[in-house]
Chain A
Amino acid sequence: MSTQARSRSLMRGFYPSWFLAPAVILYVIFFAVPTLVSFYFSLTRWTLFDHEFIGLDNFVEFFQDPQLLKGFTNTVIYAFVTSAAKIVLGMSLGLLLTSSLIGRGYLRAVVFFPVLVSTIGIGLTFKSLLDPFHGIVNGALGAVGLPQPGWLTDPNLALLSVAAIDVWKGVGIATLIYIAGIVAIPEEYFEAARVDGASAWRIFWSITLPLSRPATTTVVILSLIGGLRSFDLIWATTGGGPGYSSDVIGSVIYKQYQAGFYGLSTAGNVVLFLVVTAFVLPVFAVLNRKQVDL
């Protein structure tokens, strides 16, 4: 073994590997073990007092559930609507807040503020704002003679209303990421383009948009995962209702758990895990490959 190699292994061993132990122990106890155990319990009928192995029956049951199909399509709609809106709005706000603007710092804080508020708090606040008869939103619409829809109580509107609240809450993060991405683009490109007489539109289309792709990737991944796993906001505003009309996979699983179907709800979590992986892995691969190609 050469001296160089030995010194490298010494460098690697500079921190004893047991420094990892606290993190590994916590990870194993609170993440790895429950995850593995949950794979087993998803194959059982579990009452918390005892359990009986029933093979794949829970999965069969889960996919026959009338709520699930609705919950599944709703989840996909919700994830894509919120992701798309966060990209478009986040990008626009990011551009606006990186330009020279009076009160830029203040506006950045304002856009980011909803991110800091508790989701349940936001849900309950909007539930009262959007109340069809006593809410301030419909009060304002009524005052100027516009129709007053049942934002959270109309089965056709409920899901989209919650998605809109989600966008209001989450666009601050997307904006922040875009601001960082846009600021990181070297100023020389813009100068060169301006010297060549490029229009603002051309600069955006040919420089800002392609060079902020890492930011876009991050926003897409984060909001897609967030959208697929969405639960808290929906639970606080509509509880999946009216009926099943705004149920998502997360709320369907929680309802199974509430009902005491512990095996079934664990199976639902396994399904959710697989669905999120199935959506996010390809998206991640595609977006990252393009980044390398660039």
Chain B
Amino acid sequence: MRGVRSTLRACGFGVTIAVAGAALAACGSSDDSGAGGKTEISYLVVAREGSKAGAQAEIDAFEKANPDIIVKLDTFPEGADGDNLVKTKLSTGEMDEVFNYNAGALFRALQPDNQLTDLSGEAWAADLPDSYKKVVSTDKGMYGAPLGQSSGGGVLYNRKVYDQLKLSVPTTWSEFIANGQKIKAAEPDITPVLQAYGDAWTAQVPVLADFANVTKQDPAWAQGWTAGQKKFGQSPALTAFTHLEQLGKSGLVNKDYASMTNIQALKALADGKGAQYPMISDQLPTIAQDSPDAVDDIGFFALPADDAANTTATIWQPGGLYIPRSAEGDKLEAAKKFVAFVSSSEQGCQIQSDTGVAIGAFVSPVCKQPSDVSQAVKDVQKYLDDGQVAPALEFLSEVKGPNLDKITVQVGSGITSGAQGAKQYDDDARKQAQQLGLSGW
């Protein structure tokens, strides 16, 4: 098969029919160094609301400071299609000199030891917090520089509705349901809990954001999961699925849950038509964009566990900047300079703050959060300051089943029970573990 593989590498030839267009396009683009002795590199970011403007601002400032380097901006689509594009670009040697991609499980699926440049020797690397180093490292090296802020997974809620009905932030699951029932009784026009399965990925949040509560009860759960010993079908992780089932049957969810999209749900929350929405605080920029006046009405609390002592906020780490192995010589040096500038220079941090909306806490110690952040960000920060946090599962284990969104839609819609859903997810994760060649599955 060596022959076939080298052909694949040579020019993205027939990789798969679905990505052939992208691969061939990449083949056609020239990556020669720019004229006049300038080094040209390209920077690949995900095509998301706002990400392009931020990236362009970083590039403009960087080029001003480094007149002999030109940086071209390139984007890739969000979600699974983007994951495949990134893998295809890496495996054909066509990856941009710097690219922005998730940390944790998705990062590990890129085979970093073979594909990425080790950055552990860079000046900024020493100052990174260990919690972040872990999610962009393998046993053999440290590959990523943080870009942006960590965010909190739990429940976004409308503080006006809470104030008006004199509710307090729930610390147990039964208080959470009780709050929902009070809202329903007092204000029939306000949806107690929003669900938005029009974007199936949002259905996963009640399960993913419950994970800190699992870690609180069993600190070694994630290692056991990677080794194939711990399962979602068993307590304590099972609770997330049974809670989701209970929520679906509670009558507290919006009637149009099956078709509502994430953007509609965030709008309903900001408008006070919905009171609570299990979500990750990285969605706050959408509220800032669509409902700028309501930003400070939104608060955040951790997804409640059965026992208040276990209620802990789940933390998502920001994605990293990576340099592929295919970047060499002048381009590699230019790429390293660019990564250091964007991720860990004061000017780079300032641009991140100016062009982005705060969603949690900066990872790089050089970057400082401005003081005028929204209430939800302050709430997330409070959990961080109190140490009432634990990382999401995808930052502790590379095993993440690809169908959690469909499985949680089925549980939340009452098509399957929580226990069945948990079992299905365990089977789903097994495929991923086998694909990664892990033992114990």
Chain A residue contacts of B109, Cβ below 8 A: 47, 260
B83, A260: Cβ atoms under 8 Å? yes
Q: What 0/1 readout, one digit per residue, does chain A (248-264) give for beta carbons within 8 Å of chain B? A: 00000011011111101
A259, B80: Cβ atoms under 8 Å? yes
Q: Is B186 an interface residue (CB 8 A)?
A: no
* B115 nearest in chain A by CB position: A49
- Provide the bound-state CA to CA distance between A258 and B435, in Å: 13
Q: Is A145 an interface residue (CB 8 A)?
A: no
Q: Is B134 an interface residue (CB 8 A)?
A: no
A242, B197: Cβ atoms under 8 Å? yes
Segment with Cβ contacts to B, from A4-12, A26-34, A116-124, A184-192: A26-34
A34-B17, A262-B16 known; A242-B115 Cβ under 8 A: no
Segment with Cβ contacts to A, from B226-234, B270-278, B403-411: B403-411
- Provide the bound-state CA to CA distance between A47 and B424, in Å: 23
Interface SS of chain A = loop
Contacting residue for B434 out of A45, A245, A259, CB 8 A: A45
In angstroms, how far is the closest chain A Cβ from the Cβ of B191?
A: 13
In angstroms, how far is the closest chain B Cβ from the Cβ of A171?
A: 27
B18, A257: Cβ atoms under 8 Å? yes
A47, B427: Cβ atoms under 8 Å? no
* A46 nearest in chain B by CB position: B435
Chain B residue contacts of A240, Cβ below 8 A: 406
B87, A49: Cβ atoms under 8 Å? yes
B409, A49: Cβ atoms under 8 Å? no
- Provide the bound-state CA to CA distance between A40 and B18, in Å: 18
In angstroms, how far is the closest chain A Cβ from the Cβ of B399?
A: 13
A243-B409, A245-B415, A264-B431 known; A257-B255 Cβ under 8 A: no
Q: What 0/1 readout, one digit per residue, does chain B (189-207) give for beta carbons within 8 Å of chain A? A: 0000000010010000000
In the complex, which range does the number of interface residues on chain A fall in?
Answer: 35 or more
B431, A261: Cβ atoms under 8 Å? yes
Chain A residue contacts of B258, Cβ below 8 A: 132, 150, 153-154, 242
In angstroms, how far is the closest chain A Cβ from the Cβ of B247?
A: 16
- Provide the bound-state CA to CA distance between A144 and B416, in Å: 34
B87, A260: Cβ atoms under 8 Å? yes
B87, A48: Cβ atoms under 8 Å? yes
Q: Is A244 an interface residue (CB 8 A)?
A: yes
A259, B81: Cβ atoms under 8 Å? no
Chain A residue contacts of B407, Cβ below 8 A: 243
Chain B residue contacts of A52, Cβ below 8 A: 437
Q: Is A273 an interface residue (CB 8 A)?
A: no
Q: Is B90 an interface residue (CB 8 A)?
A: yes
- What's the count of A-B pairs with C-beta under 8 Å? 99
Contacting residue for B259 out of A150, A261, A264, CB 8 A: A150
Chain B residue contacts of A264, Cβ below 8 A: 431, 435
- Of the candidates B88, B115, B434, the one having the most CB atoms from chain A within 10 angstroms of its own CB is B434
Chain B residue contacts of A258, Cβ below 8 A: 80-81, 83-84, 402
Q: Is A114 an interface residue (CB 8 A)?
A: no
B402, A49: Cβ atoms under 8 Å? no
Chain A residue contacts of B434, Cβ below 8 A: 45
- Provide the bound-state CA to CA distance between A133 and B256, in Å: 7
- Provide the bound-state CA to CA distance between A132 and B431, in Å: 35
Chain A residue contacts of B17, Cβ below 8 A: 34
Residues from 39 to 54 in A contacting B, C-beta threshold 8 Å? 40, 45, 47-52
Q: Is A66 an interface residue (CB 8 A)?
A: yes
Residues from 241 to 289 in A contacting B, C-beta threshold 8 Å? 241-245, 254-255, 257-262, 264
Q: Is B317 an interface residue (CB 8 A)?
A: no
- Provide the bound-state CA to CA distance between A45 and B259, in Å: 36
Chain A residue contacts of B115, Cβ below 8 A: 49
- Provide the bound-state CA to CA distance between A245 and B200, in Å: 13
Q: Is B432 an interface residue (CB 8 A)?
A: yes
Contacting residue for A34 out of B14, B402, B427, CB 8 A: B14
Q: Is A172 an interface residue (CB 8 A)?
A: no
A150-B259, A257-B18, A261-B431 known; A242-B80 Cβ under 8 A: no
Q: Is B149 an interface residue (CB 8 A)?
A: no
B259, A29: Cβ atoms under 8 Å? no
B91, A242: Cβ atoms under 8 Å? no
- Provide the bound-state CA to CA distance between A49 and B89, in Å: 11
B88, A244: Cβ atoms under 8 Å? no
* A40 nearest in chain B by CB position: B1
The 5 closest A-B pairs by CB, nearest first: A259-B402, A153-B258, A243-B410, A258-B80, A133-B256
13 pairs of residues in contact across A and B, judged by CB atoms under 8 Å:
A34-B14, A45-B435, A47-B435, A66-B424, A132-B256, A150-B259, A240-B406, A244-B410, A257-B84, A258-B83, A258-B402, A260-B435, A261-B432
Taking A255-B402, A264-B435 as given, write out 13 further A-B residue pairs in contact, using a Cβ cutoff of 8 Å, ordered by the A residue number: A40-B1, A49-B114, A51-B1, A131-B259, A132-B259, A150-B258, A242-B410, A244-B410, A257-B16, A258-B402, A259-B80, A260-B402, A262-B16
